[in-house]
Chains A and B, each alone.
Chain A
């Protein structure tokens, strides 16, 4: 079974995901999941998509707060 077929099958299994999300999943499929990285990536996506500067700043601060809380929880 080739890697391409696996990815095709996986693509079929994730029919409820958006195309962008599916591409992301396929590229990360062999890697372990990192909630921290996921949080950073999603927050960055939202920050990039935010049109308002104030909203960007709020998202940035939220991102930092969440990462801090996540790190504290992991170290605990």
Chain B
């Protein structure tokens, strides 16, 4: 609870000097005439608390108005009790220099703190110590002024709720609301923690999975071993089965081999029987063939001796005749050659005559050709002479005409250029007008642009100023927050120091208590020793008195007295030591209590001030705002004192800044539009200028004059050329006039040119073209004559070639003629005819001789017949020789037959011997009973039947099949053995991989001995294990992928996260998240519920106060209000009072001024009571009333006194201070009263306090008041 304790005022407004000690409990009436300083007393209290006057007229020297006239400074010192702490505030105002402050706090058991002299720090500390109750809150609740009597009714719902929150200490809850907002950062953190936990779980799961995978892999290996062992067993069974089958196959094969031996014997017997039959057949045939061969041999002997010599003679004769016929043939050929030679010679003589005639004809042609050549040469010479004369003349004329043509063309171009320039002149004038208009528009737009730029600059400066102000305000807020947090942190440090000091003090007292206990024990020992000695002495004295008499008794009595004195002395010191020990024990207890209190205070300070994160956040915000983090609280106080405290909130400033920025953006957009318009106009101007420059409109007049001069010069030149060729003179001007008139610029052209010419250039062009064409035709005619010369030259050359040919032919014919004359063909004809005659005679004699020799041979004459006869004779001779040659062969055949018969007889004997051998195994039936063919055939038939029954092919096939089966069985056995070997190798490899020793044998028992896992699994487990392995492998792979992805996402690198740590972090973050989520809602709900509760409470207390104030006239009220945005309990309060006369609830406005003031006062008092919290640590225990009711009658005065001094207010407030200028109040009605006049207390019954305490406080006040303002 906050209690006013002491007030010292010097020269504050009308107060000249005042020093009041307020009672801790009771109503105080402050009376006095007008301007006696009563209200200034309340204002001094308000000023001491908040450093500002009640009437806030913020002028340049608004604080100076608080200084009494005629003085230069004012001082107010207010002491308060806030809970268990004492707070003393001293504020001093110096005229024109502002105020300085000194805040002094003293907490119980913690000594006096260093005074706070910085204004901002002191203000914050005072507000903090008062539980957040600022001046506005105080004026809305516990400070009731006459001029602010309606303050609560005019207060908005938001303002009212703010007051309630501050009084109830709900501002902390409101701040909690701000700190209990779930931000995206919190959600991000929660998500990140969740992901980290997931990653940690994955990372923890991966090794487990790997181990499970290894176990399943080992189990699979064991299953593989079992599988291999089962395979070995199966293979061994297969081998036994195959060996049994092999034995059966071998037995069957032996049986089949016996069958095959019988078949072979039968086949051999059959073959022998066949050979016997064949031998008998061959012997019969040889015996038939031998006589025939003997007959052929006798015929051949006969032909050798008779027919062979005759044939040899005839062949010789025919050969000779054939040779003679050859000779006859050669002679006939020679005769025919001689006849052909004669014919050739006669043909040569005829050709010789023809060559003489041709030679004569050629010589005649030569003469004619030479004459034609002479004529052609003459014509050629004439044509060349004509060409040499006409060609230069035509060329010169053609050149002149071409020159004239070119000049006419140039003249036409100049004319066109002239006409174009005349046309451009109008366009140039139009362009100039456009250019002028564009320049004018550009100038106007540039002026507007400059104006808009100024506006933009101005708006931008305003926006920057507001932004700067907003920035400074943000920094100030952050500095204030930093100051608060730093102060809390330093409070924690101080509390720690206090705890340490308390501990040290406790230790010292504990040592002192121990020393006191030792001293007590020592004195107690002395007393006990003295008592024992006393008792012993008494006993000894009695005993000795009985034994030795009174002399010793006297001596013993003295000793007993000394002992008793010693005991008394020891007892006295023992009591003192006990007292000291008790005192020290109490001090120790006090010290322990103090330590506990200090520890509690430290823990409280730690709870309040251990907010390093918030401090770091504020420092971060300060750095972000571009401000340095202050090094100490003094520095931040200094910084805050340097910066002006703005009356506007940061949100208002930001809104203003946003508005200014928007205005600046609008102005910039306008500026951009203007700049674009300027750019467009500049481009238009540049385009027009470039067009003017490109078209050359600036020099169009000069071009016109130059064109006219060129036209005149060219016209003169053309006239000269035309006159040279005899052509009519041209009239350029007339044509120009027509052209210009067509282009609507006839006036300019007419004035520039004369009109004396009559013929235009186009007519001259036609004449020049026609003359040029004529000249070209003449030149062409001359060229055609030149072509005729070429023809003559070619003709001349042809003649020359013909002449050369004729000469060549003449020489050839002359050479041929000379050759005929050298051979003499007539003589050669004579010689050939003589040779022909001789050959005919020889031929005739030879034919006669041959006829005579042919006739005896009996054949016709002729070479062909002779040759045929010779060939036939030779054939007969050859046939005979062949027949004689067969004689040897027949003799050999005859000998062979004889030999064959003998051999066959020997073979038959051998065959019978072999059959006799087979009869042992096959039976005696195999022997032939007789050598006749039927018996042999029957025997052979039986043998073949036996063979057929034996069925050799099937037997062989079966034997082959048995052999194949046998081979397959052996191969299968080998394969099984190989499989067994491979299985053993696999088992051995597996055992090596599993670090197992080599087994004694590859059976299940031995392997289980060295690897027991094999006994736990069987082949049936393979599918399950493989499925399990695949599942684990997939899961592991997915987890590894997920781990990699999440490690990249969370940037954890290769570091493995601690699962417990991640889980703890997630739990903390979840708790923080949930706390924020629910905390925000809870705080808001509490806030709303409290606000909802407040209205009935106000009404409740008002209904208690109002009847007292109105002497029971009004007792029932209705408090209503309208809904207000941002306020959960509605808008401003509206008061309606039950009026019995009206028979209903009447609004306050319907009442008279005095009654309305009563209602407002009742509402203010009810509100002040209703908002009091149950925890009164920092709640005002006073209510201050400054002339609440101005005009009231005696009854109302008494009612008011009853209220102020009655139980309702005293139940809730310790101090009730009423100020009134009226003397209506009787001071005796109040427990305490103060009468003031002329700024001084003239009468008071306030309690007096200890003078030392007063001196101490005054000394403090004086000491603080002497601190220069510049240091504050």
Count A-side interface residues using an 8 Å CB cutoff.
Answer: 44
Flag B128-168 by CB within 8 Å of A: 1 or 0 each: 10010000000000000000000000000000000000001
Residues of B within 8 A of A69 (CB): 172, 176
How many pairs, one residue from A and one from B, have CB atoms within 8 Å of each other in the complex?
134
Q: Judge whether B1074 and A58 touch: CB under 8 Å.
A: yes
Give the residue of B176, B604, B1083, B1089 whose beta carbon is less than 8 angstroms from that of A21.
B1089
User: Which chain B residue shows the least CB distance to A50?
Assistant: B1078
Residues of B within 8 A of A39 (CB): 173, 1082-1083, 1086
B1176 CB to closest chain A CB, in angstroms? 8
Q: Indicate whether A17 sits within 8 Å of B1092 (C-beta atoms), given known contacts A32-B1174, A37-B1174, A58-B1074.
A: yes
Residues of A within 8 A of B169 (CB): 35, 70, 73-74
Q: Judge whether A35 and B1090 touch: CB under 8 Å.
A: yes
Q: Judge whether B1177 and A66 touch: CB under 8 Å.
A: no
Chain B CB count within 10 A is highest, among A39, A62, A65, for A62
Q: Judge whether A66 and B176 touch: CB under 8 Å.
A: yes
B492 CB to closest chain A CB, in angstroms? 11
Q: Indicate whether A62 sits within 8 Å of B1074 (C-beta atoms), given known contacts A14-B1095, A35-B1090, A72-B608.
A: yes
Q: Judge whether B1100 and A42 touch: CB under 8 Å.
A: no
Give the residue of A14, A37, A38, A75 whose beta carbon is less than 8 angstroms from that of B604.
A75
CA distance A16 to B1173 in the complex (A): 24
Q: Indicate whether A36 sits within 8 Å of B1103 (C-beta atoms), given known contacts A62-B1075, A74-B169.
A: no
Q: Judge whether B1097 and A29 touch: CB under 8 Å.
A: yes
B87 CB to closest chain A CB, in angstroms? 14
A37 CB to closest chain B CB, in angstroms? 7
Flag A12-42 by CB within 8 Å of B: 1 or 0 each: 1110110001000110111111111111001
Q: Judge whether A14 and B1092 touch: CB under 8 Å.
A: yes
User: Which chain B residue shows the least CB distance to A22?
Assistant: B1096
Query: Does B318 interact with chain A (Cβ within 8 Å)?
Result: no
CA distance A14 to B1098 in the complex (A): 12
Q: Judge whether A42 and B1095 touch: CB under 8 Å.
A: no
Residues of B within 8 A of A30 (CB): 1100
CA distance A39 to B1172 in the complex (A): 17
A67 CB to closest chain B CB, in angstroms? 11
CA distance A65 to B180 in the complex (A): 10
Query: Does B1116 interact with chain A (Cβ within 8 Å)?
Result: yes
* Chain B binding surface, main DSSP class: helix
B736 CB to closest chain A CB, in angstroms? 105
Q: Judge whether A70 and B1100 touch: CB under 8 Å.
A: no
Q: Judge whether A32 and B1116 touch: CB under 8 Å.
A: no
Flag B520-557 by CB within 8 Å of A: 1 or 0 each: 00000000000000000000000000000000000000
CB contact list, B458-489 vs A, under 8 A: 488
Residues of A within 8 A of B1177 (CB): 74-75
Residues of B within 8 A of A10 (CB): 1096, 1099-1100
B1145 CB to closest chain A CB, in angstroms? 10
Flag B108-141 by CB within 8 Å of A: 1 or 0 each: 0000000000000000000010010000000000
Q: Indicate whether A73 sits within 8 Å of B172 (C-beta atoms), given known contacts A1-B1116, A34-B1173.
A: yes
A55 CB to closest chain B CB, in angstroms? 8
Query: Does B410 interact with chain A (Cβ within 8 Å)?
Result: no
Give the residue of B1089, B1120, B1172, B1173 whose beta carbon is less than 8 angstroms from that of A42.
B1089
CA distance A48 to B1178 in the complex (A): 33
CA distance A36 to B1107 in the complex (A): 33
Give the residue of A21, A37, A76 whose beta carbon is less than 8 angstroms from that of B1092.
A21
Query: Does B1079 interact with chain A (Cβ within 8 Å)?
Result: yes
Query: Does B420 interact with chain A (Cβ within 8 Å)?
Result: no
User: Which chain A residue shows the least CB distance to B1104?
Assistant: A6
CA distance A28 to B173 in the complex (A): 21
CA distance A46 to B1089 in the complex (A): 14
CA distance A61 to B1175 in the complex (A): 23
Residues of B within 8 A of A6 (CB): 1100, 1103
Flag B347-373 by CB within 8 Å of A: 1 or 0 each: 000000000000000000000000000
CA distance A33 to B1117 in the complex (A): 22
Give the residue of B608, B1075, B1095 whose beta carbon is less than 8 angstroms from that of A65.
B1075
Flag B334-345 by CB within 8 Å of A: 1 or 0 each: 000000000000
CA distance A71 to B1118 in the complex (A): 36
B1181 CB to closest chain A CB, in angstroms? 13
Give the residue of B180, B1094, B1099, B1115 whose beta carbon is less than 8 angstroms from that of A1.
B1115
Residues of A within 8 A of B173 (CB): 35, 39, 66, 70, 73
Q: Judge whether B1173 and A33 touch: CB under 8 Å.
A: yes
CA distance A17 to B1091 in the complex (A): 11
Q: Judge whether A42 and B1082 touch: CB under 8 Å.
A: yes
CB contact list, B793-848 vs A, under 8 A: none
Query: Does B1093 interact with chain A (Cβ within 8 Å)?
Result: yes
Q: Judge whether B1082 and A62 touch: CB under 8 Å.
A: yes
CA distance A17 to B1090 in the complex (A): 12
Q: Judge whether A76 and B1082 touch: CB under 8 Å.
A: no
Residues of A within 8 A of B1120 (CB): 13
Residues of B within 8 A of A12 (CB): 1118
User: Which chain B residue shows the least CB distance to A69?
Assistant: B176
Residues of B within 8 A of A43 (CB): 1082
CA distance A76 to B1071 in the complex (A): 26
Q: Judge whether A16 and B1078 touch: CB under 8 Å.
A: no
CA distance A50 to B884 in the complex (A): 148
A31 CB to closest chain B CB, in angstroms? 7
User: Which chain B residue shows the least CB distance to A1?
Assistant: B1115
Residues of B within 8 A of A28 (CB): 1093
Give the residue of A21, A25, A74 whose beta carbon is less than 8 angstroms from that of B172.
A74
Q: Judge whether A59 and B1078 touch: CB under 8 Å.
A: yes
Give the residue of B128, B1083, B1175 whose beta carbon is less than 8 angstroms from that of A66.
B1083
Q: Judge whether B1092 and A35 touch: CB under 8 Å.
A: no
Flag B1064-1085 by CB within 8 Å of A: 1 or 0 each: 0000000100110111001101
Give the residue of B1083, B1116, B1175, B1178 whose beta carbon is less than 8 angstroms from that of A9.
B1116
A64 CB to closest chain B CB, in angstroms? 9
B439 CB to closest chain A CB, in angstroms? 74
Q: Judge whether B1090 and A13 touch: CB under 8 Å.
A: no
CB contact list, B468-523 vs A, under 8 A: 488
Query: Does B1267 interact with chain A (Cβ within 8 Å)?
Result: no
A33 CB to closest chain B CB, in angstroms? 6
CA distance A2 to B760 in the complex (A): 135
User: Which chain A residue shows the least CB distance to B172?
Assistant: A73
Give the residue of A25, A35, A68, A74 whose beta carbon is less than 8 angstroms from that of B1086.
A35
CA distance A13 to B1120 in the complex (A): 7
Chain B CB count within 10 A is highest, among A14, A31, A72, for A72
Give the residue of A38, A62, A65, A74 whose beta carbon is less than 8 angstroms from that of B1090.
A38
Residues of B within 8 A of A58 (CB): 1071, 1074-1075, 1077-1078
Query: Does B1119 interact with chain A (Cβ within 8 Å)?
Result: yes
Given contacts A36-B1175, A39-B1082, A73-B172, 10 further A-B contacts (CB under 8 A): A6-B1100, A34-B1173, A58-B1071, A61-B1071, A62-B1075, A62-B1079, A72-B604, A73-B171, A73-B173, A73-B608
Q: Show the binding face of B for A, using Cβ within 8 Å.
A: 128, 131, 168-173, 175-176, 180, 488, 604, 607-608, 1071, 1074-1075, 1077-1079, 1082-1083, 1085-1086, 1089-1090, 1092-1097, 1099-1100, 1103, 1107, 1115-1120, 1170-1175, 1177-1178
Q: Show the binding face of A for B, using Cβ within 8 Å.
A: 1, 5-6, 9-10, 12-14, 16-17, 21, 25-26, 28-39, 42-43, 46, 58-59, 61-63, 65-66, 68-76
| A-B CB proximity, top 4 nearest | A73-B172, A58-B1074, A34-B1174, A62-B1078
21 A-B residue pairs with Cβ-Cβ distance under 8 Å, sorted by A, are: A1-B1115, A9-B1116, A10-B1099, A10-B1100, A13-B1096, A31-B1174, A32-B1173, A33-B1093, A33-B1171, A35-B173, A39-B1083, A42-B1082, A42-B1085, A46-B1082, A58-B1078, A61-B1075, A62-B1075, A69-B172, A69-B176, A73-B172, A76-B128
